[in-house]
Amino acid sequence: MSSPIAVSAAVADALAHHRPIVALESTIISHGLPRPRNFEAAKEFEQILLDAGVTPATVAVLDGVPHVGLDEEGVRRIADEDMAKASVRDLPILAAAKRSGATTVAATAHLAAKAGVRVFATGGLGGVHRGASASFDESADLSTLSVTPITVVSAGVKSVLDISATLERLETLSVPVVGYRTSIFPSFWLTESAFELDWSVQDAHEIARMMKSQDELGHGQGIVVANPIPRDQQWDPAEHDRVLTEALAAADAEGIHGKAVTPFLLSYIVDASGGRSLEVNLDLARNNVRLAAEIAAAWSVLTA
């Protein structure tokens, strides 16, 4: 049977010749950034990779077909069209209905790994939500990484989530988490959280060797590389704490719950910060794309 995944010519050629590739998600473009800034950011992320000699593989579902690698028209569509946010469970539904969707971290990781791409750059990883002991609200990003051999570079998880529970869950799922030149887990907008990591790495080659060892040991999990935003680019911690407290109180006051909580909080935070949180989001995403490019290059050398 032919593959249900459409792999772009550029990505297919890079795979065939063992050249570095980095997957990029599309939800950050369709749901995380305002228009037309989102299209500009999508093209910028791809250009960072191209300038580093790495093939970008932006992932999305277009008219029911999962794509790993998009042409400019495809990138324009995810930036301009109102698309569903697609996690792994949504993929067969979109395929059957021939509908389009922007892929979350989970769906991007799943499709990229199926196509043979081993490195993925995103902004922040999904995690366990606050109050999950009652709501059982946990991102599919975590369970997907427990069965998907891909290395994800992220700036930790957003501080609107339960960071401690997220790290505990990743440990339970046997997903390695390593800090890039840090022993403190980052919290997305901030360089540090209150939580220490067991392991840290100093360069991309060390991460590539870890990936190879994981393959040799027969593990099927992914690897989370926690890459903190540089301290001089982070959001002011005092302002962050104030706005986050206000956002959480506002969500409680308005009775927001379930899936609506995170979008509400993020929208509130962007407005209350005067757009500062959005600028930090872009800075950390660029930082993650650059590190992912280095890891992909190291991986291609190691496995050539």
- For the domain that residue 137 is a member of, what is the CATH number? 3.40.1790.10
Give me the phi and psi of 192, to 5 degrees please: -135, 155
Q: Are residues 102 and 149 in the same domain?
A: no
Give which of 115, 125, 187, 155 is closest to 290, Cα–Cα: 155
pLDDT for 114-159, tens place per residue? 999 999 999 999 999 887 777 778 899 999 999 999 999 999 998 8
Any binding-site annotation on 105? yes
Q: Are residues 145 and 289 in the same domain?
A: yes
Neighbours of 301 (CB within 10 A): 13
Q: What is the rounded CA–CA span in Å between residue 143 and residue 131? A: 18
Q: Are residues 143 and 47 in the same domain?
A: no
Q: Are residues 157 and 257 in the same domain?
A: yes
Burial class (CB in 10 A: 0-12, 13-18, 19+), 127: buried
Q: Are residues 18 and 95 in the same domain?
A: yes
Any binding-site annotation on 137? yes
CA count, 13 A, side-chain hemisphere, 295: 33
Residue finishing a domain among 69, 90, 117: 117
Q: Are 140 and 106 in contact (CB under 8 A)?
A: yes
Q: Are residues 166 and 297 in the same domain?
A: yes
Q: Are residues 245 and 271 in the same domain?
A: yes
Give residue 169's pLDDT band: very low, low, confident or very high (50, 70, 90). Answer: very high
Residue finishing a domain among 93, 117, 141: 117
How high is the pLDDT of residue 129? 81
Range of 105's domain?
1-117
Q: Are residues 72 and 127 in the same domain?
A: no
Q: How many domains does the chain have?
A: 2
pLDDT for 206-233, tens place per residue? 999 999 999 999 989 999 999 999 999 9
Q: Are residues 128 and 268 in the same domain?
A: yes
How high is the pLDDT of residue 214? 95
Q: Are residues 169 and 113 in the same domain?
A: no
Give residue 304's pLDDT band: very low, low, confident or very high (50, 70, 90). Answer: confident
Residue finishing a domain among 65, 82, 117: 117
Q: Which residues are catalytic?
A: 25, 158
Averaged pLDDT for residues 95-114 = 97
Q: Are residues 202 and 279 in the same domain?
A: yes
Q: Are residues 77 and 184 in the same domain?
A: no
pTM for the whole thing? 0.95
